[in-house]
Amino acid sequence: MRSFKKILVTGGAGFIGSHVIRYLLNEHSDLSIVNLDALTYAGNLDNLKDVAGCDNYTFVKGNICNKELVEGLFSEHQFDAVIHLAAESHVDRSIENPMAFLETNIMGTAVLLNAALDVWSTSGMEGKLFYHVSTDEVYGSLGDTGLFTETTAYDPRSPYSASKASSDHIVRAYHHTYGLPVVISNCSNNYGSHQYPEKLIPLMIGNIVDGKSLPIYGEGINVRDWLYVEDHASAIDTILHKGKTGHTYNIGGLNEWRNIDIVKRLIKLVDYEMGRQEGASLNLISFVKDRAGHDVRYAIDASKLCDELGWKPSVTFEEGVLRTVKWYLENR
């Protein structure tokens, strides 16, 4: 089992990143973390206000594409690990502005890899790790049956998923070409507190509260596997310390849901919490033109992570979504 002294977390002010930083600091008292985040629209330092004063936590505002900044941080702090979460991540935005996704997700990853390689080639690769956090969307779309495994062929369908697939390949190339110690994880859809409200669950919660339309793509039959963000943080911690160098691990919540069924469950929960009659907001549902290239179904086989490293999700979707609804209602 590995141990680390100082870790660079990129994108740590975002939804998943903030949960990962909080989890690591709570679990490893001897660990120091530097959080590099550009604080774009989805980044928010309030996500980490509870750890902002910790002696072993440092925030640096900056872009991972800034070569001089990244190299300077590596030189100053001599990180022994990187958890790379910084990314443009919204499919709709990638369709509208693909170049921003290609720059951040591909070139930003390359900048980080080069900085790690330069420093670790001098100080030694032993005990170092570059952990690249990716998505199940790189695998494309499933039919009604089957699961994505670590050996599923890549088949990205959107500029977002293509940019993440590219960065996955670049990370693996640095491992095979230069001997850089890396691991990659591909996760399913995350949900939980602190998520920017452009994503399905927080968007729908807010619209239900405000009595606004609940737009659902197509017929709402697209299926996603949902992973509670705190379970994702614990999986990342497990892979960071126990994952095999050069390996990929799929992280899933074992929770497949159709979009329409998620929205109906959110309506039921929010209406109840707000003292409304059950189903009062069902009439807010509206079906809109499907997203271009919309994948039909994602589902993750996380058995490698569970069997080899001993991880398993601890929060059911029913429990997690109730916690999520209550958090958004309390943090409007």
Q: pLDDT tens, 13-48? A: 999 999 999 999 999 999 999 999 999 988 999 999
Q: Is the pLDDT of residue 294 over 80?
A: no
Tell me, yes or no, if 131 is annotated catalytic: no
- pTM for the predicted model, two decimal places: 0.95
Confidence of residue 314 (pLDDT cuts 50, 70, 90): very high
Tell me, yes or no, if 136 is annotated catalytic: yes
Give SS3 for 200: helix
For 140-170, b/e burial (b = at least 16 CB within 10 A) is: bebeeeebbebebeeebbbbbbbbbbbbbeb
Q: For residue 261, what pLDDT is reported?
A: 96
Annotated catalytic residue: which of 80, 88, 136, 256?
Answer: 136
Tell me, yes or no, if 30 is annotated catalytic: no
Q: For residue 123, what pLDDT is reported?
A: 92
Q: Which fold has domain 6-191+226-255+295-314?
A: Rossmann fold (3.40.50)
pLDDT tens column, 112-124: 999 999 999 999 9
Annotated catalytic residue: which of 37, 137, 256, 295?
Answer: 137
Q: Is the pLDDT of residue 289 over 90?
A: no
Give the C-alpha distances (Å, rounded to integers) separating 318 from 126, 160, 192, 256, 291.
42, 29, 12, 12, 27
pLDDT tens column, 231-247: 999 999 999 999 999 99
Taking a C-beta distance cutoff of 8 angstroms, is the pair 268, 204 a contact?
A: no
pLDDT tens column, 252-263: 988 899 999 999
Residue 158 per-residue DSSP state = S
Q: What percent of the chain has pLDDT over 90?
A: 84
Annotated catalytic residue: which of 160, 174, 249, 328?
Answer: 160
Q: For residue 126, what pLDDT is reported?
A: 95
- What is the average per-residue pLDDT within 214-218? 93
